[in-house]
Structure 1
Amino acid sequence: MTMAGNLRKVTGLGRGGGLRRVARLARRRPRVDLSHPARSPLGSSVVNCVTYRDGVRTPQGGDPVDAVERMRERGAGFVWLGLHEPTDQEFAGVADPFDLHPLAVEDAIEAHQRPKVERYGETLFAVFKTVCYVEHEELTATSEVVSTGEIMVFVGQDFVITVRHGRHGSLGPLREGLESDPAQLAKGPSAVLHAIADHVVDEFLSVIEAVQADIDHVETEVFGEHGARVDPGRVYQLKRELLELRRAVVPLGRPLEELATRPIRVVEPEIQAYFRDVADHLLRATEQIAAFDELLNSILQAHLARVTVAQNEDMRKITAWAAIVAVPTMVCGVYGMNFDHMPELGWRYGYGLVIGVIVVACLSLHRGFRRSGWL
């Protein structure tokens, strides 16, 4: 079956039956992000399918499949097909005409992959982990701080296929930015791959900045007046969320280095310089995450130290008061014994003398403990 026939299965619009089928599928599945008014779903998982020639979006009058055929006949331009969480059946109509490798297709459908770059013949397959900062009014021991998703990218000589997983990481604004710069978009599919990588890394830096605000807030509370009462679970939660962020950021270093240094047929040599810039930004993000992890360790140790100091202060206070109370307890215990012959038992002023001795002894001990800082 030709590429046109397969794409018609996925993008069959313009016919009444196809439109009704798309509407039914759209009601079953959550709606995807369609930020551009000219964009409309081409299927249950297809977000957009656009052809570009000389960096300019081609007119949308006509069937998208016909536009793809005309583009390949002329031998210029490329197709950008965007998908959102496709199923096996939905992706089958796309994999065959673009000659996508079955292993890459399996990874794109199942998701939950590590960031990587793989080459399958004339096609490059890249996986990016996307991150999103989850807004919260107050950080607790169970707060979600970082949410992750994935973007898979297939890059060929005349096509780019993006597969997005997760409810964030929309590529609508990215597409609009590229369309406003035809000179960059005219460099081909590798320019789109660079824009996606740059967009993902910029989101890393934005999330890191937001996480830093949470860390600064916890640090201020730990070193505040009531720092010993801060819940350590909040620090542990930040460390767990930082680990999730690390899993998205750190593994991307080697794929970006490969894109920036190794010759790849579908990546223009001119674009490789742009990948080096993205790799520099990723290195900064990696260093910041490592610094945050060390800072959280220090905050946790400082919190435990403050708890220990507070407990020692409480124990000193308890010990001091126990010593003060021990004086009247001892005197009263001695004079409470039932013996007939005890000193001062028959003396008129004996009771007052004993009470006076107790008061003086207690006041002396209290003053001594105050001077030493125990009270």
Structure 2
Amino acid sequence: MTTTCIVSGRAWRDGHPVAGELTEDDLHRLHRETDALVWVDVRDPSPADLRRLLHRVGLPDGAIEDVTAPYERPKVARYGDHVFFQAYATWMADHPAAGEYVRLRTGRVSGFVGPGLLVTIREGDAFDMAPVVRGWEENADLIVEGAAALLYGLLDVVVDSHFDTVQRLDDDLEDLEDVLFAERRTGHDFARRTYGIRKDLVRLRRVVLPMRDVVDGLMRHRSRPEGNRFTALDAWFDDLYDHVLRAAEWTESLRDMVSTIFETNLSLQDARLNTVMKKLAGWGAIIAVPTAVTGWFGQNIPFPGFGRHGGLAVSVALIVVATAALYALFRSRDWL
């Protein structure tokens, strides 16, 4: 019975690729050879297919739960000679889905790595293995290091996707800053974008931060040659761990930044409200002057210039002079 969920597979012997189309039986036969390195890619496996596949590489049924459990965070676990890992690649959609605010998308990839074997398990087409395979081909000299080299190439693509996502979010925050301090006022669209980025960063944080433990665990569980000597791959894994730390720190700093933008927007709105209140108070005082003058001269008693054109000129002059003086006074104090 053939496992129909296997999408593709490759094999190497002594660091050189094995040519030709490989069947499932070929992959399992090569896996039993001590000088062979095998990669098996599985997509959307059924429980029966997954159980059969794991049994053929010597993994217990308990490993199936790690693969199939929904909403699992990035993690690493050891099963005898094999290590289970789970990670999420990330990217940003151009626009949020209808009725949503978030644009962050994730692609889950799980797998098992052991002596001479790497099994990758994907859900749908969300995670693309093509960049991973290209990375293996571009660094073919590392294949002699075994399954750890394949694992490094996979995790490198995952961490690079984190960097790309964080960069996109950083650019979005810079756009928000330009709007925040522009002359025009922020409105509903600004608040919606800020809220969406805040949610994206919360989701991204759940994916990026645990990767420190994943990479550290895989580095500790990775088998070394006799004598525990360091290999060329150690420097690559150290560099990968450094990238994971930088992505985590960058995500944390952006999370603080979006909170600062949110609070600054509220402070600027309060400041604009105070400015509006000052202007209203200033204009109210200015309008009160002609109202007082005309009200006074509107009383039913004679006043200087009553019944003559000169009286009208005096009242108009009082209104203009008093209004101009108040306007100049308020303007000098930046109330208007």
TM-score range, shorter chain: 0.7 to 0.9
Correspondence 1:367 to 2:328: yes
- Identity level (%): 27
Q: Helix, strand or coil: the match of 1:225?
A: coil
The gaps in structure 1 that reach 5 residues or longer are 1-7, 11-42
- Of 65, 84, 91, the residue aligned with 1:106 is 65
User: For residues 103 and 190 of structure 1, do their structure 2 counterparts lie closer, same or farther at Cα, with a shift above 3 Å needed?
Assistant: same
**Partner residue of 2:141?**
183
Check whether the contact 1:153–1:193 (CA below 8 A) recurs between aligned residues.
no
Q: Helix, strand or coil: the match of 2:109?
A: strand
User: For residues 128 and 161 of structure 1, do their structure 2 counterparts lie closer, same or farther at Cα, with a shift above 3 Å needed?
Assistant: same
**Partner residue of 2:20?**
60
**Partner residue of 1:48?**
8
The gaps in structure 2 that reach 5 residues or longer are none
Correspondence 1:164 to 2:122: yes
Deviation at 1:71, TM superposition (A): 4.9
**Partner residue of 2:279?**
317
User: For residues 79 and 266 of structure 1, do their structure 2 counterparts lie closer, same or farther at Cα, with a shift above 3 Å needed?
Assistant: farther
Q: Helix, strand or coil: the match of 1:231?
A: helix
Deviation at 1:266, TM superposition (A): 7.8
Q: C-alpha deviations, 1:137-160, integer Å up to 9, x for none?
A: x9x995533211211110122321
Q: Residues 237-248 of structure 1: matches in 2 within 5 Å? A: 237-248=196-207
User: Partner amino acid for 1:9?
Assistant: T
**Partner residue of 2:81?**
122
- Of 168, 175, 196, the residue aligned with 1:210 is 168
User: For residues 275 and 345 of structure 1, do their structure 2 counterparts lie closer, same or farther at Cα, with a shift above 3 Å needed?
Assistant: same
Deviation at 1:183, TM superposition (A): 2.9
**Partner residue of 1:149?**
107
Check whether the contact 2:88–2:107 (CA below 8 A) recurs between aligned residues.
yes
Check whether the contact 2:10–2:22 (CA below 8 A) recurs between aligned residues.
no
Normalised to the residue count of structure 2, the TM-score between the two structures is 0.86
- Of 20, 35, 41, the residue aligned with 1:76 is 35
User: For residues 164 and 308 of structure 1, do their structure 2 counterparts lie closer, same or farther at Cα, with a shift above 3 Å needed?
Assistant: same
Check whether the contact 2:40–2:119 (CA below 8 A) recurs between aligned residues.
yes
Check whether the contact 2:51–2:61 (CA below 8 A) recurs between aligned residues.
no
Correspondence 1:224 to 2:182: yes
Correspondence 1:327 to 2:327: no
User: Partner amino acid for 2:11?
Assistant: T
User: For residues 281 and 157 of structure 1, do their structure 2 counterparts lie closer, same or farther at Cα, with a shift above 3 Å needed?
Assistant: same
User: For residues 101 and 275 of structure 1, do their structure 2 counterparts lie closer, same or farther at Cα, with a shift above 3 Å needed?
Assistant: farther
RMSD: 2.8
User: For residues 373 and 75 of structure 1, do their structure 2 counterparts lie closer, same or farther at Cα, with a shift above 3 Å needed?
Assistant: closer
Q: C-alpha deviations, 1:103-161, integer Å up to 9, x for none?
A: 3212212342111111011211011121112234x9x9955332112111101223211
